[in-house]
Structure 1
């Protein structure tokens, strides 16, 4: 009986056609679930305010937030966007 001998080209051809799937660790699965849940929660907004020398962050669900809270949230977000745009122009022209 003759033994079959593989050369490097045959081995490479064999393994290049096989997709090797890496099993996910429990941490990877949990991270995917957290990521998915975070994407589902995009309707939440944060309002920052000051109480004495402490900065507070209030998270609200935009679907049930009172109008004054939503207005403040959108105002703060708009200020941040304008600030980011100004900084981007400074960076681009530097």
Structure 2
């Protein structure tokens, strides 16, 4: 664990010791407490990273509607490494200058994120079920074929206006 990660972990432990609570933690409340108590003084890099995160969030939340009434996400990211730094480059689906290869990579990376989320969900459910063997096991199906088809039903047969 990095020194920064250890520092953050110590904030969390101090916050829990001071406030006790019900075992639920709000990261914003912990961060505000750490900042207010002088445990963390943000650097210019931290501020720039926070602003960049806000910009990326805006990109993530930009949706448009096509002629058939389908709502789609307009901006798509590709994560890549340059040296030891990971970066995300965003492109707009409606920008003719954006290369097709960007979207091929973006969609493949998003699919891998979904696979990773499903793997982790399955692991979490399996561990929970093992820890609670006296209870009926929680079942979480991971085949989304019918879910996606159901969501697409309103758009089937519609033609562009």
TM-score by length of 1: 0.55
Are 2:84 and 1:84 aligned?
no
The alignment partner of 2:106 has SS state of helix
Instruction: State the 1:54 CA deviation.
Output: 0.7
Number of matched pairs? 58
> Between Structure 1 and Structure 2, whose CA radius of gyration is higher?
1
TM-score by length of 2: 0.33
Partner of 1:56: 87
Contact persistence 2:76–2:93 (CA under 8 A): yes
CA RMSD of aligned residues (A): 1.9
Give the 5 Å matches for 1:1-94. 38-40=61-63, 42-64=73-95, 65-94=98-127
Q: Gaps (5+ residues) in structure 1?
A: 1-34
Instruction: State the 1:39 CA deviation.
Output: 4.5
